[in-house]
Structure 1
Amino acid sequence: MELTWHGHSTWHVVVDDTELLIDPFFDNPKTDTDPEELDPDYLLLTHGHSDHIADADRYEGATVVATPELTGYVQETFGHEHAVGGMGMNIGGTVECGDAWVTMVRADHSNGIDTGYGTSAGMPAGFVIGDKKPTQESDADCTTFYHAGDTGLMSEMVDVIAPFFEPDAAALPIGDHFTMGPAGAGIAADWVGADVVFPMHYDTFPPIEVDPEEFEREVKAAGAAAETVVLEGDETYVLDEHGGYEDS
């Protein structure tokens, strides 16, 4: 599994022959990637805020994976024709996306469409992406990545996500103000039980300017066993069931 961070909450994930793009927003200081260079099979949207769907219109050929409310908005506004399951999905559901299995999990956040704050995009979400369908049986050969979306610290991380999905890697927001800050994200790193944790959703705007070294310190202070990896924008990390390694 290849994980590439394009700044903010934008991740390009490759599982075998399947490409997934999460929360496309390339107008951020961490990326030099031209969004037209990417051709994802699936477009995963955690919620409807503009810093998570601003470049969704560039990928009309991708299948949208989002709540039914957000899926409908994106189809009507940006012209997407395809949605997973024909209608989107919801919290707790798992769908097969090519060579990947995608489960939508809870995130504690808000979810109004920015172009009209009274318009709901359904529940905000995070995603767990694996190369095998999740079951109650632990599978050491399964590789799993947890994208937490925009969230605060929540007990679901330790009660559901860690024991059921056993993520190998997790991307956690650290910017504070709109999401968890470094301290909350450090606790989350411990709670989700991942081997590797990446900071995201920071330094994009003045209110979320944070030194990622704060996150590293908080991960250690929480007693988390996870390795903290601070990626540069557009940098790739290759993950497998035996661990991962960086690939610039």
Structure 2
Amino acid sequence: MQVTWHGHSTWHVTVGETDLLIDPFFDNPKTDLEPSAVDAPDYVLLTHGHADHIAHAGEFSDATLVATPELVSYCQEEFGFEDAVGGMGMNLGGTVECGDAFVTMVRADHTNGIMTEYDVDAGVPAGFVVSDTKPTQVADEDGAERSSADSSSGRSPREDSATFYHAGDTALMTEMRDVIGPHLEPDAAAVPIGDHFTMGPQQAAIAVDWLDVDYAFPQHYDTFPPIEQDSEDFEREVAATGSDAEVVTLEADEPYDLDA
């Protein structure tokens, strides 16, 4: 699995032969890319309907859209996604197969109205857990024996797979500790650190600790004055929790190989 951050909350995730683009918004200071320069994705995943997460969704209307049914309907009408192949409405707790990837929609604590001439209900805000294997509690033959480290956390090892959690816009929530971390088992998490509209560095660090991930990527910061942050503050906060996660502050548009 390869992940590429394009600034703000925009990520390109490649799983096998499948490309997924999450929250396309290229009007941010971290990237110089125009949407037209981005490799066409097979799927577009939208966490919620705010403008800084769907602004350039229409540039990729040939892809299959994955979002809440309400947001899919809105984007089909506004951006030209076709009904037949252009929308895969889903909801919290569901897992859908997207080519070589499995996408699970999880909670995010945020708002989700679209403020236009007529206020639009875009459903619930969400995050996504993207994996190259289907989530399961049943260990296969390779995972039948647990290492001592895995036994302590109750997890079965999945050395040949990778799982990436995009938290969306969210506050700290116990769902990360009680459901997403122990049962969906992300290896890496992209968490907002901008504060003001989402978690700041302190709460984002607690989220990383609860999730028990190996890698933590800061996102949703430095785009606008209210969310300007020093990512090193986030790194210090993660260390203060006692988490073993490695904080990786990515340069925009540079691929990062989770399998490596």
1:166 to 162, 185, 208: 185
Larger Rg: 2
Q: How many residues align?
A: 241
Structure 2: how far apart are the matches of 1:146 and 1:86?
A: 22
Q: 1:116–1:123: structure 2 CA closer, same or farther, 3 Å change rule? A: farther
Q: Give aligned-pair identity as a percent.
A: 69
- Other-structure match for 1:134: 135
Give CA deviations for 1:118-165 in whole Å, capped at 9, x if unaligned: 321000000000001101133513210000000000000010001111
Q: What is aligned with 1:123?
A: 124
Alignment of 1:148-227 (within 5 A): 148-227=167-246
CA separation of 1:153/1:120 partners in 2, compared to 1, >3 Å: closer, same or farther?
Answer: same
Large movers: runs of 4+ above 6 Å: none
2:251 is aligned, of 228, 232, 235, to 232
Superposition map of 1:1-248 within 5 A: 1-38=1-38, 39-82=40-83, 87-116=88-117, 118-137=119-138, 138-140=156-158, 141-240=160-259, 244=260
Summarize deviations over 1:90-129 as a string: whole Å, max 9, x none.
Answer: 0000000000000000000000013257321000000000
Q: Deviations 1:18-67 (Å, cap 9, x if unpaired)?
A: 00000000000000112112200000000000000000010110000000
CA distance in 1, matches of 2:227, 2:171: 14
CA RMSD of aligned residues (A): 1.4
Q: In the aligned structure 2, how far is the partner of 1:100 from the partner of 1:188?
A: 24
The alpha-carbon deviation at position 233 of structure 1 amounts to 1.2
Give ranges in structure 1 of 5+ residues lacking alignment.
none
TM-score, normalised relative to structure 2? 0.90
Partners of 2:132 and 2:88 in 1: CA distance: 23
Per-residue deviation at 1:225?
1.2
TM-score (norm 1): 0.94
1:217-246 Cα distance to aligned partner (Å, 9 max, x none): 000011111000000111211012xxx4xx
Q: Which structure's residues are more often strand, by fraction? A: 1
